[in-house]
Chains A and B, each alone.
Chain A
Amino acid sequence: MGPILAVGVPLVFLTVVFLYPLWSILFAGLSGDGGPLAAFGEVFEKPSLRGVAWFTVWQAIVSTGLTLIVAMPAAYVFARYDFPGRSLLRAAITIPFVLPTLVVGSAFLALLGPNGAFGVDLSSTIWAILIAHVFYNYAVVVRTVGGLWAHLDLRLEEAARMLGASRWRAFRTVTLPLLRPAIAAAASIIFLFTFTSFGVILVLGNLEFRTIEVEIWRQTMSFLNLPVAAALSVLQLVGVSMILLGYSRYQERRSIEQRLAPAAATARKPQTPGEWWTIGGILSFTAVFLGTPLVMLVERSLRVGGEWSLAAYTSLGETSDSPLFVPATEAIANSVGFAVAAMAIALVVGILAATVVAYRRGSVSRWFDLLLMLPLGTSAVTIGFGFLVAFDSPIDLRTSPMLIPLAHSLIAIPFVVRTVVPVMRSIRRRLREAARVLGASPFRAWREIDVPLIARSALVAAGFAFAISLGEFGATAFLVRPERPTLPIAIFRMLGRPGELNFGRAMALSTILMVLTAASIMLIERFRLGEAGEF
């Protein structure tokens, strides 16, 4: 009974909520007016659509390269030096990465927009988008590359130095090649995120810059051209799969087995004044770069019409002059409600699936693992669009309030699985045996050892699922009902309306969303046991 449930529930869930919508998209793309391949033909022939595809690719490449270059020094400092406040700072730089895209968009609008802090308006230019992308993905480099860097055996570089290599030569010939897997991992994550960037581009690009993701949304919402939107989704899906496939092939081919040193053994205190200056400089840059947009966001929410005021916050409860149909405060309640539901679904399905992946061996477990990871490679917009086409007929479920938490949970499930599986696997058989020898029955050993250890990681997963749902924008944009907006939707609508007060309200809602997200992520850090888990 147990195993059937563990395999069956996630399998049925993914089939209905993921595979069926994907199939529907493909079907929609093939059923355009001018024959089965007309929509695809239009995408390839229309210069504006070709431009969208080209822009999507090149901005992703540039964003990835820029992020790697800008964030590498910080990765080095966090990996190799031990300075006061290191762990706190490392946690702090992760905050931008977990922020909802709409909050990042708003923050950069506050910083580089028409009323920006520096008096230059970079919105609707590529620069705002690129800087926002670097801001967003900075932590990926510091965590992924720095993570491996901290565990590289210092003696390898020392050995190269002893053999006559200069500092730079030793870095280039020893350290850099050893870091390559982490750099490739970081680059492919960042490429994937920026390739499917939606919220940031929508807010900062003003529809003048459009990724495929934005174009799918525009074709659907503005032109009701479902076949073209579907064709774009299919092409994007193919692109994403190719990136993922290429990455995994690369990792398999390039993986070098190396003995990793404990991070504590490789980090040391800065000694010379030069080292202190370098570290101080890199950390200051990091703090200013990551901190300023967020501070600006809060500042703008507290200033309406040039005056310090709480009007943006106090007027959130009003309906009369609100661009929403309901008070903005209701959007907060809606978001929290959806997030709780999405979290519950993701936890039940995710933990059931995780037991299969963690405890079953062989190909069943591997294929299951792959199926569970697929939603991660599928963009949020594709998921939202898929729901829209799939749950139309025979039963029209598109007005059902359950669609939003379902879509959110689908996005959160891979995170739940990836958080819980390593913990389940890491519970050493020895611990269970030790409990048995000390007099625990098999059930008691499971309850005393497995449950408490997994419970912590489940809490972490719950926090992730909650935060993901709170800030989710791409899928929600397709599924939301006008009278039940979520926080990101409310922010987007406020930004789209003229008026100082509406801008202030958008900033206020972004601030609230940022605080809610940061709070759930901080809670995660508290419950995290050691370094277990892959996120």
Chain B
Amino acid sequence: MLRVDALTVEIQGATILNNVTAQVLDGKILAVLGPSGSGKTTLLRSIAGLQRPTTGTIQWDENDLAGVPVESRGFGLMFQDYALFPHQTIGANVGFGLRMQHQSTDAIHRRVSEVLDWVGMSGSEGRPVTNLSGGEQQRVALARALAPAPRMLMLDEPLGSLDRSMRERLIVELRELLVDHQITAVYVTHDQEEAFTVADRLLVLKEGVVAQEGTPESVYGRPSDEWTARFLGFRNIIQANVIDGTALTSWGRLVVGDVADGPQTLVIPPDELSLDPAGSIHGKVATRTFRGGHYLLQIAINAGPTLDVEVSAPAPEAGTEVRLRPGHAVAL
């Protein structure tokens, strides 16, 4: 089990990570989610031993890693740009870690072909790495990180440079691979969907500070603050005054569940908002955009911010007066 405790990292006077605490249970996947510049990569580099923490501790199974050099930590790291060795073949790249462990040539051969098989690149040992496609590089880099059977694998934006359809396919494969082989992993990404798909636990980083931590469902179901909610893709956020389970907002009355009375910030999830002639919110369609599977409508409300609604066809034209029925709102 990995424990990061009160980790602070300063680089050239700038605080990159501030009092970060996190843990990863054996065989589980922690996704670290944050926009660029939030300190995700620095967190990985600190755990790997490539970056010295300013204060705080990093422990593995209760042992402090402070004095342990990079090569003795037994962690795997898959770099964002893959960092494949250009002067070595695929086989030599994947076998590198095994050679560092002084394994026999036979054992290296077997293991290399095994992990290449896992990532769907069997038989490619002799090929050079210099003319691989993005997807192939990603697979070889993953195989190389997996080959020495690290006690934990860290992946830094592993799908970052691939196109969308490739990402959506590979992320599922990746999750299956990690779960099937019970690999403990830290997965860094700026993409919410990727993080939700891959994670057992989710940690949201904002400017070097942990904004929220929990299961993907709990984080999505209840973002901790407005910034997190917006970063996760929620758009309908409003200030409210709650009295007895009813919230008074500039959009009108909203029903909320178990929320304390008083001023609150509320969010209406997209699936909790629909067009309904009998709805309580009255507004006018400001813009209508076709998004393939659905339309996105921006509804201008008399008093208050615009509301975003996803509806299926047929969708009202811009300028149409509409009524909306809000479902349950969530308090942040």
Contact = CB atoms under 8 A, between A and B. Distances in A.
A452 B96 CA distance: 14
A164 interface: no
A437 B87 contact: no
A392 interface: no
B12 interface: no
A438 B144 contact: yes
A261 interface: no
A449 B71 CA distance: 15
18 contacts: A428-B83, A430-B79, A430-B81, A431-B85, A434-B79, A435-B85, A435-B96, A437-B75, A438-B71, A438-B76, A438-B96, A438-B97, A438-B148, A439-B97, A441-B71, A448-B85, A453-B86, A530-B130
Contacts of A448: 85, 96
A434 B83 contact: yes
Interface string A437-451: 111110010001100
A438 B87 contact: no
A456 interface: yes
A434 B71 contact: no
Contact of B50 (A436, A438, A449, A452): A436
A439 B148 contact: yes
B100 interface: yes
Contact of A433 (B50, B75, B96, B145): B50
Interface string B72-93: 1001110101010111000000
A433 B87 contact: no
Contacts of B76: 437-438
A529 interface: yes
Nearest to B50: A433
B324 interface: no
Contacts of A441: 69, 71
The secondary structure that dominates the A interface is helix
B174 interface: no
Interface residues of A, number: 20
B22 interface: no
B97 to A, nearest CB: 4
A439 B100 CA distance: 6
A440 B71 contact: yes
B83 A438 contact: no
Contacts of B97: 438-439
Interface of A: 428, 430-431, 433-441, 444, 448-449, 452-453, 456, 529-530
A284 B172 CA distance: 56
Given A433-B50, A437-B48, A437-B50, A444 B100 contact: yes
A434 B77 CA distance: 7
Interface of B: 48-50, 69-72, 75-77, 79, 81, 83, 85-87, 96-97, 100-101, 130, 144-145, 148
B87 A439 contact: no
A428 B96 CA distance: 17
A456 B87 contact: yes
A428 B80 CA distance: 13
Nearest to A434: B83
B145 to A, nearest CB: 8
A444 B77 CA distance: 18
A298 to B, nearest CB: 37
B81 A437 contact: no
A94 to B, nearest CB: 23
B100 A433 contact: no
B101 A439 contact: yes
Contact of B87 (A436, A444, A452): A452
Q: Of residues A428, A434, A529, which shows the largest number of chain B Cβ atoms within 10 Å of its Cβ?
A: A434
Given A433-B83, A448-B85, 11 more contacts: A435-B85, A438-B71, A438-B145, A438-B148, A439-B71, A440-B71, A444-B100, A448-B96, A453-B86, A529-B87, A530-B130
Nearest to A432: B83
The 6 closest A-B pairs by CB, nearest first: A439-B100, A438-B97, A430-B83, A434-B83, A436-B70, A437-B77
A87 to B, nearest CB: 15
B100 A440 contact: yes
Contacts of B69: 436, 441
B86 A437 contact: no
B49, B75, B83 pick with most chain A CB within 10 angstroms: B83
A224 to B, nearest CB: 55
Of listed A436, A453, A456, A530, residue having the most chain B CB within 10 A: A436
Contacts of B72: 439
A219 B96 CA distance: 63
A434 B85 contact: yes
